[in-house]
Amino acid sequence: DSIHKRRNTGGKQKPWRKKRKYELGRQPANTKLSSNVTVRTVRCRGGNRKFRALRLDTGNFAWGSENTTHKCRILDVTYNSSNNELVRTKTLVKSAVVQVDAAPFRAWYIQHYGKKIGIKVKNGEKVESEDITDVKRSNTLATKLKKRNAKHEVAENVDQQFSTGRLYALVTSRPGQCGRCDGYILEGKELDFYLKKMTKKTKGKGE
């Protein structure tokens, strides 16, 4: 509400009416990253309910280019464009960059493509082969996997993350409003943009 604000000219305004119920504000949720998951319900105007997440450690994250979504454990909060304090205190808010566990996506990739992902590179070469040879497959399945793998490639910067077991993701839900921490895996130019920002921040700390 604008009753307490000054005019455009800078002059003070006398309040012309009392506060209204629909103008109320509540304390911020400041959802923390913790395994002790706590979600409170808040009764709102009109009998509606909001779900105030106070502590969370999992969420549904989508891998857009592969068109798949999995429930992942959130491991760390790594970047927030609005405030570094939110990174230090591991606060989960919308548009925060987090690191999630890559295991559910790795398991899906192996099952869907019949190949390994995130193989470590040594002296410019992969340590082991991508192909999984010790599994018996029917001709139908072998043909299906061959078709899937034709012209299919995972971006290099995403593949490198799989070798560390952590993926960068962006939170798109509002944990303090819906009680969930969902988002999507960062890829392409967006991932490059955030990686650049994060390296800048760490450089600044070192200097």
Give residue 128's pLDDT: 64
Give residue 160's pLDDT: 86
Give residue 6's pLDDT: 95
Give residue 48's pLDDT: 94
- The amino acid present at 170, given as its one-letter code, is L
Give residue 207's pLDDT: 59
Report yes or no: 73 and 57 within 8 Å, Cβ to Cβ: yes
Termini Cα distance of the chain: 43
Give residue 130's pLDDT: 67
| Rounded CA separation 134/132 (Å) | 6
DSSP designation for 204: H
pLDDT in tens, the chain (207 residues): 889 999 999 999 999 999 998 888 899 999 999 999 999 999 999 999 999 999 999 999 999 888 899 999 999 999 999 989 999 999 999 999 999 999 999 999 888 888 888 777 776 666 566 677 777 888 898 888 888 888 888 888 888 888 888 999 999 999 999 999 999 999 989 999 999 998 887 666 665
Give residue 93's pLDDT: 94
Burial 146-169 (b: 16+ CB within 10 A, else e): eeeeeeeebeeebeebbeeebbbb
Phi then psi for residue 56, to 5 deg, are -140, 155
Burial 34-49 (b: 16+ CB within 10 A, else e): eeeeebeeeeeeeeee
Give residue 98's pLDDT: 94
Residue carrying structure tokens 């018996």: 136
